[in-house]
Amino acid sequence: METRQLGNSNLYITPIIMGTWQAGKRMWVGIEDSDSIKAIREAFESGITTIDTAEVYGEGHSERIVGQALKDVRDQVIYATKVFANHLKYDQVLTACHHSLKNLQTDYIDLYQIHWPSGSWNSEIVPIEETMKALNDLKQEGKIRAIGVSNFSREQLAEALQYGNIESIQPPYSLLWRGVEKEIQPYCVKHNISIIAYSSLAQGILTGKFGTKPSFAEGDHRKDHRLFQSPHWERVQTALSQLEPIANKYNCTLGQLSIAWLIRQPKTNAIIGARNSQQVKQNSQAMEVNLTQEDVMKISDISYEVTKHLDNNPVMWNFE
């Protein structure tokens, strides 16, 4: 698989990135460690050599699964993990990084990201200068190779950049969630910052697998996703039915079409989660879908009929 430069760093990432939130199990149902390990391994075998995780995914469980799956090929993969909003004081960042290194069974993290801005999820407010000092010190020591942020606004990204190099930002971004295009994407193009999109398949909606009446097992966080709720859900159904003929034209699935569209957007790479190796194999084939510019525009127009009705709240879930 082709690789792309991560920001201005000397790291190169794959346009499709293996996401491992589900491997942490918490807030997901029906996840088996053995399936997660096989899926991560399949990603590597399929050429997806960039893996994204976070300390908060199952309180380190996802990181441990990643480390277990790839320890024998560590030098051939890029690990991206994240420090959560409640660990952004100087000493907390150092401690969190140490735990992530241990979980991942490695002595360096390629891309270390601030998962949510300080103050998110009722966390304590910590000056970005303090957090960035810790990250810069870790980089100087060789514990991390590049710094990224996640869920930051354009203003928060610009402030962080005053205290060090930021190579990437990780926002929610998909055909059905395009708020990043308003301010963040133009800023990233101007400053050569990579966009690492999460929820690239809108938590599975863009695969078309939910039918017209989605149902979720107890404990599945997706039931709270705003796109599954009326009136957005009805608009989503219309969009999917209009995208289907385009997918047929390219002899690909709806999911592959959605990924192919996303990685064609400026500075954008797509994190795709998977429960099993079959899903990974299918996702990786999106690289072979070569959309014409005309169809890229047509797909954008279809999705806009959903996204123009969403507000600017970047949080995708109506958690109580």
Between residues 66 and 310, which one has the greater pLDDT? 66
pLDDT range class, residue 320, cuts 50, 70, 90? low
- pLDDT tens digits for 26-49? 878 788 999 999 999 999 999 999
Average pLDDT over residues 10-14: 98
Mean pLDDT is lowest, of 167-171, 216-220, 302-306, for 216-220
Specify the pLDDT at position 319.
65
- Tell me what the mean pLDDT of segment 208-234 comes to: 81
Number of domains into which the chain is organized: 1
Res 141: pLDDT: 98
CA distance 56 to 95: 14
The pLDDT score that the predictor gives to residue 39 is 95
We report the CATH number of the domain holding residue 153 as 3.20.20.100
Please indicate, yes or no, if residue 224 is contained in any of the structural domains.
Answer: no
Q: Is there a domain that residue 320 lies in? A: no
pLDDT in tens, 261-279: 999 999 999 999 988 999 9
301, part of any domain: no
- DSSP codes, the chain: ---EE-TTSS-EE-SEEEE-TGGG-TT-SS--HHHHHHHHHHHHHTT--EEE--TTTTTTHHHHHHHHHHGGGGGG-EEEEEE-GGG-SHHHHHHHHHHHHHHHT-S-EEEEEE-S-TTGGGPPP--HHHHHHHHHHHHHHTSEEEEEEES--HHHHHHHHTTS---EEE-B-BTTB-GGGTTHHHHHHHHT-EEEEBSTTGGGGGGTTT-SS----TT-GGGGBGGGSTTHHHHHHHHHHHHHHHHHHTT--HHHHHHHHHTTSTTEEEEEE-SSHHHHHHHHGGGG----HHHHHHHHHHHHHHHTTS-S----B---
Is the pLDDT score of 76 beyond 60? yes
The confidence score (pLDDT) of residue 222 equals: 75
Which residue in the block uniquely carries the two structure tokens 């999820």? 121
Give catalytic status of residue 57 as yes or no: yes
Average pLDDT for residues 273-288, to the nearest whole number? 93
Can you give the pLDDT at residue 121?
93
Q: What is the CA radius of gyration of the chain?
A: 19
Residue 13 has pLDDT above 60, yes or no: yes
Residue 160: inside a domain: yes
Q: Kindly tell me if the per-residue pLDDT of 312 is higher than 80.
A: no
Q: Report if residue 116 sits inside a domain.
A: yes
Residue 146, in any domain of the structure: yes
In the predicted model, what is the mean pLDDT of residues 127-149?
98
Residue 212 is predicted with a pLDDT of 75
Catalytic residue among 57, 79, 112, 198: 57
Range of the domain at 30: 4-203+262-288
